[in-house]
Structure 1
Amino acid sequence: MVEVPTLTTPRFTMRSLRREDAAAMFPTMADEQQALYLTRPKFESEEELRDWFAAPEWPGRTWIAVGASGEVAGRFVAVPGHGGDETHGPVFEIGYIVAMHAQGQGIARECSQALIDHLWSEGARKLTAEVDTRNTPSVRLLESLGFTREAHLREHEATHIGMCDVYWYGKLRSD
């Protein structure tokens, strides 16, 4: 298992995932509207979400953003991506979901930037993100963070709502 170092932002501590984080994120992940852009349907129980968070075969790392009050604000991930190597540097795909009670406060931007800075410090060459083309807030976020839309993949992802078009975004360390 790859280490998940603690990251800090002006408002949040981003720490490794804990068992009790499933309870904090469950209201968001169990909401039909919030789960719309997930590849799977909403979660039906905290146990189901806990198992998904802790899936041993998942190759990524998870950070949980926690505010000064101790309240969980979101989940941020980095997963090894295609095209990384020891000579040129690793590639990571990033992802995020902000707890619905905390949306609209700039949390995704603040914590994603901290994650991006950390991945650059680890030697990442490129970061990527895949987003449903209808997820306008996520598209705006990625573009505000300096990601470039590299592809529009039509009917690319089979999800619980059918086949979805996705945008593929990338950001080079040299950008």
Structure 2
Amino acid sequence: MIDVPTLKTDRFTLRPLRREDAAALFPTLGEETQCRYLTRPAFESEEELWGWLAEPDWNGRTWIAEDGEGEVAARFVSVPGHEDGVEEIGYITCAHRQGEGVARECTQALVAHLFTADGLRKLTAEVDADNTASIRLLERLGFTREAFFREHETTHIGLRDVMMYGLLASEWAARG
């Protein structure tokens, strides 16, 4: 099993995935509009979602953000990239917590951890070209758009344009 250390922000604890997280994430990941920018459609059951979240052959790490009352607010992931020192990040905020700054606060903590504690040299993020909220978040955190792939992949909503964003450890360190 891949090590998923607990991280803390001012408002949230980012901790490893637990079985009961499927129930907390299902209202979001079971809703078609919330899954618009995923590469797959909404999940039809908590069991199907759990099978995806806990896929034994997946090589990434999952952090679940929970607030001080223990309520799940979001999921964050880090997946090994094309070579050592590079990982791709991803995130989804629970529908009822969107607009509260959860993604920004927790992604910032995850990025800091991946660069500082894990010693990565670069982080990437793949984002649907129409996902303006995610694009704004990445740019606020200092990510740079490195590529725009037209008609790059077919998902449950059709043929999609995809953007690749990147952030170097040296750029993160220069931000202070």
TM bin, normalised by shorter chain, reads: over 0.9
Q: Deviations over 1:53-111 (max 9, x none)?
A: 000111100000000011000000000011x33xxxx1010000000010000000000
Segments of structure 2 that go 5 or more residues without pairing to the other structure are 172-176
Look up the match of 1:155. Answer: 151
Aligned length: 170
- 2:107: which partner in 1? 112
Runs of 4 or more consecutive aligned structure 1 residues displaced over 6 Å after TM superposition: none
RMSD of aligned alpha carbons: 0.6
Question: Mapping of 1:90-169 within 5 angstroms?
Answer: 90-121=85-116, 122-169=118-165
Q: Identity of paired residues, percent? A: 66
The whole-number CA distance in structure 1 between the counterparts of 2:75 and 2:115 is: 19
Counterpart in the other structure of 2:60: 60
TM-score, normalised by the number of residues in structure 1: 0.96
Structure 1 unmatched runs, 5+: none
Shift of 1:138: 0.3
In the superposition, the TM-score normalised over structure 2's length comes to 0.95
CA distances 1:25-76 after superposition (whole Å, capped 9, x unpaired): 0000011110000100000000000000000111100000000011000000
Alpha-carbon distance in structure 1 between the residues aligned to 2:59 and 2:39: 17
